[in-house]
Every structure is written in C-alpha cells, then in structure tokens.
Structure 1
C-alpha cells in the first residue's frame, strides 16, 4: 500500500513538471503519507461510532416493540400523491363515479369545516362567558373597594380667601378624632336611621306622604350632648329641610301641606334646564338656602346677645329691631362710643349696618320700617336711597323699575362705585344689593367676612329670570354660583380636611346635590349620613342617576365635569346594605326597596333601576339564605306563608304575586340551579311554584348521587336543607339522603292539592327510576345482591331475558330516556353483571350445587347475563371500552 502511494506521489510530481501548462500554478500536496493514513483512520472510526449510535437507537426502539428498519422502509414507500383520489380507479368516461366521488369529498370537507367551526365557536363562547363572569366579579370587587374607599387627603394648596375668612366662622368646632366608642355610636346612629327607613316604606305602601328629611334629622341627634359631629349633622338636615321646603312636620308626619314622593323629579330631571318649572325649582332652592343662612344668622345674634348681655343693653322688648341694635352695640360700640370710624351714624345708630343686618337676618319688612322711620336722617346721607329701597322691597322679584334703575345706576356710578376703605362698607353692600351692580365683583370687604355671609350675599344676587332688562354680563344664577364654588374647591373651605361637613353644606346650598353626596361618602365617619342624604334627595326627586352602562366603575359620581352630573344611587345603597345584610337581611331589604324610587325615569333608565333593585334583592336572598324571612314558607298542608318581599310587592314595582314569583323567586332559583346549589334550587323552585323544575333538579342530583358512595352527606354533595330554612316543603329538617328527600317531596306533592298535577309524567317516572336505581346500588354495596338485582329489574331499564325483539326495543327506547339515567348506564350495567356473577358463583361454590333448583337458578343467571351482553352489544358505542371489557370478562367467568 505504501509503495503504491509513493509511486502515485512520484508520478503526480512528474505530471506537474511535464505538463505543457507550466504557467499554471497547480496546488501541491502538503500532507505526508503518514498524515494521510492517520486522518483516514480517524474518519473511518467516526463512521463506525455513528453507525454504533444508530444501532443503539434501533435496539432501544426494538425493546419497545418497534421495528425501526421496517418502519423506515414503510415510510419511504408511502405515496401521498393519491390521498384524495378514489379508492377504486375511475375511467375517464365514468361520469357517475366522478360525481359520486366529488360529492363524498364535499361531504367530508363540510364535516371537517363544521368541526373546525364548532371548535372555534366553543372557544369563542367560552371566552365570552369567562369575560362576562370576570366583569361580574370585577363589579363586585369594585363594590368592595368603594365601601372601603380611602379618604382623599386634604389639599395643601392654599387658595385665595373669601372676604378674608375661609369657613363657617360660627359653625361648631372641628370634631375630635374617633374614639374607641366611635363604632358603637355609629351603630346606634345606623339603628336610628333604620327605623326611619322602615317607617318611610310603611307610609309609601299605604300611599301617604312622609316628612323624610325632618324624620332623619331627628334620628341624627346624638346620644351624647358633647358629640359635635352629631350636632353638625343635625344642623345639615335642617339645612336640607329649608332647601326642599319641608315644613310643619312632627315625627315624620306633615301637619299641613304635605310634600309628595318625587315632588320635584319632573322639574329637576328635565332635559331642558331652561324650562319654567326647572327655573322655578332653582329659585326655590336658592331662596331656601338664603332662608337657612338668615335663620342661622339670627340664632348667632341671639347667642351673642345672651353671652354678653351688659354690652348689648337689649332692654325689655326683645323685638328684632332691638336685637339688631343690641348686636351692633356688641359688635361696634366700646365704652359708649362707636369703634369703627367708617360707620355713618344717625340717631345714635349705624343706619346702613342696621338695615343690612335686618336684611341679613331675613327681616326685610322691619328694614323698610326702620328706613321709613329714619328717612329724614338717611336722606341727609343719601337723598334718594329710601325711595330706591322701598321700590326694591316692594318688587316681587327684587328688581327696580327701569326708570328708577337708570337713575340709580347714574347715582351709583357717580358717588358709590368708587367708595374708599374709609367709607361705610354697609352702604356699599346695600347699594350693590339694590342695583345688582358690578355682578363680577361680588365681595364687599368688611361685610362679607365669613363664608356664610359671603354665601348669603351671593344668593341675594342670584337671579334665575335672566334676560329681563339686564345685560348678558350681569347674568348670575344658581348654576353660576355653583361653578364659582367648584373652582374654590374643598381646599379653600376646609384646608385641613378636618371638617368635611362644611364643604358638604356649601355644595348643598348651591344645589350641587350629586357632588355633595359623592364628596361626603368618601369620609368613613359620614358614610351612613351620605347614604341617607342621598335617599332623602332621591325621595323628593332631587338626584340624577346614570344609565346602567355608566355605572361599572368604582366612582359613584358620573359625568363629574358637566353641569348635570349623576350619582350611582343604586350602587351607593347596595354598598351600604352589605355592611349589615348578613346580620339583618330584612332591614337590608328595606333599603333595597328604595332603589325603585327612580322607577319613574324615562326609558331605559327607569326600567334599569327596577331591574337593579330586583337583582340586588335576589343577591340578598342567595347570599344571606334567610329564605323563610325573605321569601316565606310552604307548610306540609300546602299553606303558604308570605315572606317580607311578597309583603312589599308595591315597593319593588311588582304587579302581583305571579310577577314576584317569576321576577324574584324563580330567577333566584335559576341562578342557584346554574351554580349547582341544588338544595337551594329545590327550595326556591318550590317557593316559585315551579314543581316540575323541582323534580328536574332532583333528577340531576339523583343522577349525580349514583356515582357517589352510599351515605354521602350534604356536605359532600348530597342534598340537604339550606341553613336558615325552618319550614317543611315536604322535607324533614336536617335530611341529607337525596333519595329520601325526593321521596318526601313526591309524597308531599301527592298530598297537597294541585301540586302533583304540575309535575310532568316523564320527569316523575324518571325520578322514580332513579330512586329505585339508588336503592339498588345501596343494596348492592350492602351485599344484598338479590334485592339489588330485583330492584334493577323492576325499573325495566335493562331487559334480562332472551327475547331479542324486546332487547332491540329496549335499546331503541334509550334515546328517549332522561340523561340523568343514561349517563349512569355504564355503572348500572357493571353492577348488574357483577351481581349476576357473584350470585352464580355463590351457587356454584355451594355444597348443594347438584340440587336441581340451584342448577335451574344458575341457568337463569347465565341466561340473564347473555341477555345483558346482547343488550350491551347493541349499545357498544354508548358504553366506554372499560365498561365493555368488564362485562365481557364477567360473562366469560359466568360461562
């Protein structure tokens, strides 16, 4: 080999030197013979190693029963070119065969396309259902988050002040932090509110008017005289009674003219906010707010006089004239002299301040009387003021006649507009009120020093009948005042965030009811109050609610950036009831009734509110499970005892008992059925008088119980009575066996007139078959094989004789058998065959095996086994392979 390679090398060199193409630079061999040999051996070794790996793989597959060589050969011989060609070759002229083949391929393609479409629909529907369930769970989560919404911290940003003060100077001081007894006080207040709501619903059912604001105000009075927060809350209820014009109410009952439920709804909720009724409503709210501030100021005056009687020198006649005179003495007189040099004094009294404070306390007639009595003195200061003042007060809308107004404006522009700080500020304030001038400069330094003074001044300038002789720049209504207050915000009125009721009152005074409730609800200590303020406003129709599509967020206020925001009233009430629903479901129900206050809204919002109320009531029933109290009971004799919901049908806008059964009870039963809460579904369907549905649910649970061990309790899947159920409905309390429950229900329906007739024959027969099968399986587990076999035969489900026609008919009849039975057919067949085998084995092993009767019995058992196998063979594709294998093995042992 070495000689040959050496000769080859020599000859290749000779070839290179002898070639005629000497100019071409041919590559030369750089490796020696030893190197070539070494690399050749290395390549040969690698090939053998790879061949060894292939052999190992083939050996491994062979140990598992796989012939790798044969499989590789088969794969290589597969020809996919004719996959879709007909099995039998068609000639070019066989048109019928070609059409038949094309038709078969179209069917196969359609089936495959249908399968793909079905699969896609399944996953799409599954995704839709999961998303819907997630939305429902998310809504519940938002409800929980809303209940525990953290308080918004006070803004540290300092805004400009109104008249040098920010806050109701004469309001109660800020309340201390909650003490250990805070929760007890809160519970006590909630209980007092509860009693009012209960009375409200009683009045509503009877069709009587109820003074809700006054009643809630009385309930808000704290048990402790030192509870400043309770005092502030009570004062706020008094404010609201002024706004809604609720007067002459004693213990919730009107003594004279009564306000009706939803009194202001049509005007407040009108689409056109400029229509006459809506404008009049805004005027009423503004006048009510001004009247409250006037009454509050007079109380402050009297309190001041009582605290400083010597300085006041009130005298023996406590008339309003004397009270204001004495108040001015306290405020501006020191050592018998007037301390403020800017005040203009006439007849030893600051006349402008005297008239202003008479107006400020709500005594316009007394102010005019004072001006008339002192006309000569006032005329020396301002010649034409008294005629202006009298014309202004006599006008029904506090508007000067045009001629007088023109003269007034000329005089104002010449002499009053540019008054300096040394001028009497009360004269300036009176002139601004009379002429409603400089509407964009609504502050009078030295007069509007407190927030309540400033608000009263604004409300005195507010006018809802614009466009009657006024320039556009003088437009200033209640909504304009609300916009100004929103710009200031909470940070201005309560910079420390320690007095939330202050800003709440400001919002109420400007008619911003939705914003007021949403703001107060954010403060945990006042959440119960916020809910009841919302209820009072909704009762009189002064609360806008959004459509259901806008209530999926955690925030209660919707469209907050518009002039007409809305509040998720239903969600607010629902959140509140969840605080005590488990402990007092009946009281929670009283609150849920109030969701239907908004049923009079235009479609679809009114219907949505009713539907929400029904949904919340069903949820209350399902979560608390206080069925007897809420839904009622049906006794053994068929007597029906109505529950609280049925006694309040009117409040839920349910026309009659049938609507109640369908809208509340049946819907709750369907939900329980869907969630596989079978015991509750049975009870609820029974209360809904859906007796056929009761049996249907029983059939499902009976079918499920056949695959469970005997004696399984309700906690492991059996049907027992739900907790909290105290009635009978044909079932014994604490009963757990589903078969016993089914038996007692059927017996109850047979006894009670009219009940049994509402159960379909097919479902009753199914129930009876399932009960016997349950009995048979229980007997089988107890070793009572003969009893089990006889009970199964009595159902006529499995024909155990040799009549072929009967076997075929029985197999065909399975198509009409209830699914609860069919899905247990495998287990029943195996149990039947096992019982036959064991009975046969017992006879075979018996020492009396030669006895003729025993031989006859063994023959009968084998005959029944053959019938069973024939029947099972007809159902081959309905049974699992394991079931058929078991039957076949037992049949072999038998024979």
Structure 2
C-alpha cells in the first residue's frame, strides 16, 4: 500500500470524526508513538503476556477485568459447610447463632438427601416402566406355544397399549373380509339395541362357502358345544362351565351323530353286503353295520350268543355309540343272556337320563365287572359295562376304541361327579387334565393334525386352550380369533384379570387344568396387520373390547381407537373434520356413538395421548374436534411461541400454524369460546405478534410499529415504560419466551429508521432531522431500559446486542 492510499484513508477517517460530536485532540505522530511506548512499558511491567491476552479477550466482550477482580476480593472466602467453632456455655449469642446455622445446615442436608432419594426412585421407576413396555411389546409379538407359561401374579401392572411400532401393511384377504362383513353386521345390531344373533351360527354359515372340510368341522363342533342353556353374564364363564353337564352331553351328541354318519357312509358303500331293510332306525342301522364288520373270522371271543345272527355285545355297544339307549335295551331283551341288573340300569338311563344311576345298582354292576367281566374275552362286553357303571377308568379299550373319536366318547361316558363306593372315578377335570397335560400335543401329533387336537380340546370344554393352539398358525389364526369373539359374546370364554397377561395363562383360583384366554391381546394381534390399511374394519373388532378396562381403569375400546388414530394419523377419517363454520362432519367413530361412547370424549382422549407424546400440532386438531377450545388454544400458543419470530416458508410449521390461527380467529369473531381468558388473551396476542414479525420480515416497518403500539407490550417512549412493565408481569410464559426477539426486532427497526434519516441529509432541515433522531434514540433507550427492568432472564447476548445497537444510534 503506498502513501497516497494511506493519506486518503486518513482524510476519510478525519471527515468521519468531524461529523461526530467528539472533543478534538491534536497530537503529532511522534507524540502518539511516545504515548504508545509508555503505555506498553507500563503494561508489560505489571502483567505477563497471558494477563494481557485475557484483558484483550474479555475487553472485546465488554467485560472490565479489574472491576471483577475487586468484586471477587470482597467476597468471603469462608466455607459455608465447614464445622462450626466450639463456644463456651455462657456465650448465648454465639450459641443461638450456631443453633440457627445448624438448623439451616440440617435442612439443607435433609433436602439434599430427599432430593437424591427421589431422583433415584424416579430413575428406577422409569427403568422399570421401560422394561415393562418392552415386555408388553415382546408378548404382543409372541405368536407361539404359551400354554406352559403360567402367570399366577394378581398384582396389576401398568399397561402400555399405545405402542408405536408399525405392523406390516397388508389388506384383508377373501376369508378375512367375509368375517369382517359379518362382524360389521353384528355390531350394527348391537348398537341399534335389537336382539343379537348367535355369532357361532352366523360364522358357521359363511364358513361353508370356504370349501374347507376341516374348518367346517371345527365350526360344527362349536355349534354343538354352544347349544346349551344361556350362561349368566355376572358369573365367571369357567366356573359356570365346570358346573354344567350340558357341555358333556353336547360333546357326546356330536360324537354320536358323527358316528351315525360314518355308519351310513360305510353301509352306502356296501349296500349288497349290508342287506339293510325294514323301517329306518338306529337298530337297523347298527344291525347292518355289524353284519358288515363281523363274520366268523373276526368274532372269536365274543360271548352271550347272537341276535338275528349278529353278536350281542357289539350290537349293544354300537347302539350306545350312536346314543340310542332304547335300541341297546331292545338288544338285551332279544337276547337270552339274562343279566337283569344290567337291563335295569339301561331302563333307568332311558327313562331318567338326567339322573345318575342308583348307587346300589351301580355297585352291583361294578362288583359283577370285577368278579367276572373284567377278565372276559369279549372286549365289547367289558366296554359296555364300564360305560354303564363307570368302572375301571384305567382300561384303554384298545380293541373297541380304534379312533380318537371312539376313545373320547368312551372317556366322556365314564365321567362321574362322585363315587358311590369310594372307588376311583373319572371326573370332568380329570379328563381335561388327561387331554391337556398328560397326553398333550405330542401324543395327538398336533403339529400335523391341528384340527384333531383342537377337536379333543373343544369337546372337553377347554375352549381357551383350543383357540390359543389354533391361533399359533397363520392358516387357522383368523378362524381362532372369530371363534373367540363368538364364544365371548356368549360368555363362554374365561378372560384374565389383567389384560397385560400372556395369551394363555393360569389363575390359581380356577379348577385344574383350566386356562384363561386374553381375548384383548388376541384381537389386537389379529388387527395389527391391517389396522393401517383398513381402519374401519379394525374399529369394528376393537368394539368387542368395549366392556374391558386396562389396569388404570381406562376403557379398552377407547384406548385401542386412540392408539389406532395415533398410528394412522388420519383423524379426519376417524373423528370427522371441523368445517370453517365450526360444525364437525361425521367420522368412523360416530357409528359407535352411544351413552357410553361419545366422539368428543374419544377425540379428547386421543388428544391427551398426543400431548404426552409431544405431538402438539395433532393434539390441537383433536382438541378442536372435541370442542375443548381451551386446550386447543393453549397448545396452539405453545407452538406459536416457538415459531412466531421466524420467516414463513412454504410447508413449514409456521405456515401451518398461521392457517390454524386464522381459522380460530374467524370463529372467534362469530362466537365466544368457553375457555380461560388468560389462554384466549395469550393466543390473540401471539397472533398479533405473528403479524408484527410478518411485517418486520417484509420490511414494512411502519405497520409493524403500529401493531406494537396496539398491543402495548414494548415501550416506544420512556413514558410507556412503566405501563409496559406492568403489562409484562401479566403475560404468559409463551409470550415471555418470544419477548427477547420482539425487543431485538423493534430495536433493529429503530436502527434502520435511524440510518435512513441520518443518511438522507438533503430531505430534512437540520432541526427536524435532529428531532427525529433524538426521538428514535429515546425509543431505543426505552427498549434497553425495558430489557433491564423486566423480571425475566433474557438470553445471554440479548442485552449486549440491544446496548450495542443503541450505542450505534448515539
């Protein structure tokens, strides 16, 4: 750089200094150099290089290090918590002083100890809650054998049903949609309050269209098993089921009818050999079947002769197997076997089927069986005596019971509630334990014959275990879920005490080996795969949970709808949409509207869950749907306080909030919202501040200052300072949060106006210009004074920036 450039810059600096109202100091260059050397020598003598650098650094930030050092020296160096000095017993003033300090120290120590313990307790509660949530997620994801998972705890656990993990997107297939249509029709009838149809019958009809014999057979079993007297809705289903003999009779009836169909099929395939004739009856049916089954080659060991050329005891057994005691009695009467006690027992069962056999007669038959018949070579005779007298429950009757149906029918026929002679008997609970625990899945080869294992469980009244077993595979899960729904509507499914328990659990108060099915978990697992793509169908299934509550007492139906709404975030579809005139359109939830369930109540519940998750923007929409305007405006204000000072960008949160705020303001003009005046004032103030910042960013400063003058939260003169301070004390936290940005934006406007006036010398007369500049300086001073007076802790650089801008205007 040459001397001409230096001279030009020096002259420029001189001209700028002349325009300022500063005192003139004239020094030659040697004098300036001498003063600089003297200053440098004094500084280097007293301070080292690091101190000089510290002064320079802190001085650049406006901090006076010497003054701070003086203030630090005045502070007491005494430790606050050091032991107190001992005093004499006669020094009362010192004693009282020590007691006072001891009390203060003990309070501080106690508070510290309590705070530490509270923090530790909250930490562990949070950790436990997280682990409980993870456990629930794992249980929800678990689809596999759980019948050996026994949970006997009765302490309710916190439930977290509002999970955030997305299920795999999938549409309902043909079978699932057919079931869903029936569910919709059923729920519609329930909501209308008309007579409810039998869901088992309804589902059983549509199953016939699936062309799957095994599925049809399963639903046929369900039809038989639910064809009993109505169960009380006030009693536990498991206890009611264990005390009713109708379930046993219905299971036997199904097996007997199934065997009659089997006999007819065999005879139809061999009409020539069967030589069936006469009036159609069970006796003739059995006679034809026995003639096909037995001949001279396979009749070895059969006793007591023949009737019409057929062996006696096979005829009696198959008559009983078909459920026709009268035909069995006819066989005995046609024979010459005698055995009056046995005939009397058949007559008693025929004429008094609901009464148990006379104990004396039963004991005589048991004695006869033990003495003679047990060692007989006729397996059918042994089986018939065991069935009628209920004796020798350990005998398997393998020569007679050739299929699982035969075995199960014989076991059901052996059931007794009490023993007449203190001998071992087979009870209903004992049979259930034998099937579920003694034999189990391995014995019945359940992995390859799922329908068979389901059959033996269902026919022995173990609906919960049967449905849970069926739900483990994708092929049968849909049918298992709808069986559970149908039985639950008939009060035939035992549910757990806590909806957080596994899919299948054991209650220690239940008779062995009964299980409890968590139908809530079963439905939620089923719905999870299509709740996003088919929310309408999902809500229909959730409606079955309307009478259940979670451990916190919340309605499970509303809770599931809440989770569904949060998951899919299509609130307009579920709860409707609020129109500009304030009227809400109908949504999916409105079809369930009743005394118990209100759309506004459900929307508010979802909104509260969204608030807990921090999703305030969605919560505002739901509070608006719920007509809870106080919370809607409050959370709108919370969101506005975060973005009100920003520049509006397309698609930004500020732009969306601006639309919401404008909609609320339009409705406020027509009607009054029933909410807290403080909340309403905060919202209105923030919307005006949004307009202020819009004008500010658009550089429309005059309108921006007019908005500020209207709301009177920022002083534009020293006379307004006191009133603005008083107004500030009444402001909410949302507005206070924006206040530093308001001060900075206002100060920036004043500075821009100041530079504009000062730079345009030709437009103003000197006196008028000076007056306007002085007026702007007064406004700037009012702003800095306001920042220093208000009882609010400003961000670190706010005050310094305000002061710096004010200095630039002086």
Structures share fold, TM-score greater than 0.5: yes
Q: 1:330: Cα distance to partner?
A: 2.2
Cα offset for 1:82? 7.3
- 885-894 vs 390-399, greater mean Cα deviation: 390-399
* Residue in structure 1 matched with residue 731 of structure 2 by the alignment: 817
1:655 aligns with 2:599: no
Q: Which runs of 5+ in 1 are unaligned?
A: 1-57, 67-74, 154-182, 247-258, 600-604, 719-735
Say yes or no: does 1:455 pair with 2:426. Answer: no
**Cα–Cα, structure 1 residues 790 and 530, in superposed 2: closer, same or farther, change >3 Å?**
same
| Cα shift readout 1:289-323 (whole Å, capped 9, x = no counterpart) | 11111111111111212222222222364432222
Counterpart of 1:434 (choices 375, 388, 393) is 388
> Offset of 1:479 from its aligned partner?
0.8
Q: Which residue does 1:759 correspond to in 2? A: 675
| Structure 1 contact 695–763 (Cα < 8 Å) conserved | yes
Question: Which deviates more, 104-113 or 637-646?
Answer: 104-113
Secondary structure, in 3 states, of the residue corresponding to 2:423? helix
8 A Cα contact 2:172 2:530, kept in partner: no
Residue 777 (structure 1) shift: 1.6
- 1:612 paired with 2:556, answer yes
Mapping 1:248-397, distance limit 5 Å: 263-269=231-237, 273=239, 280-281=243-244, 283-315=245-277, 317-333=279-295, 337=296, 339-344=298-303, 345-372=306-333, 374-375=334-335, 377-379=336-338, 382=339, 385-397=342-354
How do residues 421-820 of structure 1 correspond to structure 2 at under 5 angstroms?
423-439=377-393, 441-464=394-417, 466=418, 470-495=420-445, 497-548=447-498, 551-552=499-500, 555-559=503-507, 562-597=512-547, 599=548, 611-650=555-594, 655=596, 657=598, 661-662=600-601, 664-711=602-649, 713-714=651-652, 717-718=653-654, 736-751=655-670, 753=671, 756-803=672-719, 806-820=720-734
Secondary structure class of the residue paired with 1:710: coil
| Contact residue 573 and residue 587 of structure 2 kept, 8 A | yes
Q: Does structure 1 conserve the Cα–Cα contact (< 8 Å) formed by 2:501 and 2:518?
A: no
- What TM-score, normalized to structure 2? 0.81
C-alpha distance in structure 2 between counterparts of 1:287 and 1:710, whole Å? 76
Q: Which SS does the other structure have where 2:410 is aligned? A: helix
Instruction: Answer whether contact 1:558 1:567 (CA < 8 A) is retained.
Output: no
Residues 1:339 and 1:186: Cα distance change in structure 2 (over 3 Å): farther
Tell whether the 8 Å contact from 1:558 to 1:568 is kept in structure 2 after alignment.
no
For the Cα contact (< 8 Å) 2:506–2:514, is it kept in 1?
A: no
Deviation at 1:411, TM superposition (A): 3.0
Residue from 364, 382, 401 that aligns with 2:358: 401
Structure 1 residue 213 corresponds to structure 2 residue 200: yes
d(CA) in 2 for partners of 1:862, 1:269: 84
1:352–1:427 CA contact under 8 A, matched in 2: yes
- Whether the 8 Å contact between 1:545 and 1:568 is mirrored in structure 2 is yes
Contact 2:506 2:515 in 1 (8 A): yes
The residue aligned with 2:752 is 838
How far apart are residue 699 of structure 1 and its match? Answer: 0.7
- 2:22 aligned partner: none
Q: Secondary structure at the match of 2:577?
A: strand
Partner Cα distance (1:325, 1:522) in 2:
44
**Alpha-carbon contact 1:328-1:354 (below 8 Å) kept:** yes
Output the CA distance in 1 between the equivalents of 2:119 and 2:645: 28
CA distance in structure 2 between the aligned counterparts of 1:328 and 1:486, rounded to whole angstroms: 34
Contact 1:245 1:288 in 2 (8 A): yes
Distance in 2 (alpha carbons) for counterparts of 1:811 and 1:124: 42
1:415, distance to aligned residue in structure 2 (A): 2.0
- Give the SS at the match of 2:372: helix
What do the CA deviations read for 1:400-457 (whole angstroms, capped 9, x no partner)? 43443344344333321221xxx22111111112222223x24223111211101000
Output one character per residue of 1:206-229: Cα deviation in whole Å (capped at 9) or x when no partner.
241311111112222354x4xxxx
Indicate how the Cα distance of structure 1 residues 858 and 391 shifts in structure 2: closer, same or farther if over 3 A, else same: same
Cα gap change, 1:610/1:479 in structure 2, threshold over 3 Å: closer, same or farther?
farther
Superposed CA RMSD: 3.6
TM-score normalised to structure 1 length: 0.73
The change in CA–CA distance for 1:817 and 1:332 in structure 2 (over 3 A counts) is: same
- Alignment match of 1:201 (pick from 171, 187, 191): 187
Kindly indicate whether the alpha-carbon contact (under 8 Å) linking 1:151 and 1:524 is maintained by their aligned counterparts in 2. Answer: no
Deviations 1:154-182 (A, max 9, x none): xxxxxxxxxxxxxxxxxxxxxxxxxxxxx
Equivalent pairs counted in the alignment come to 718
Q: In the alignment, is the contact (CA less than 8 A) between 1:514 and 1:557 conserved in 2?
A: no
- Which structure 2 segments of 5+ residues have no match? 1-46, 56-71, 148-168
Q: Does the 8 Å CA contact 2:464/2:516 hold for their aligned counterparts?
A: yes
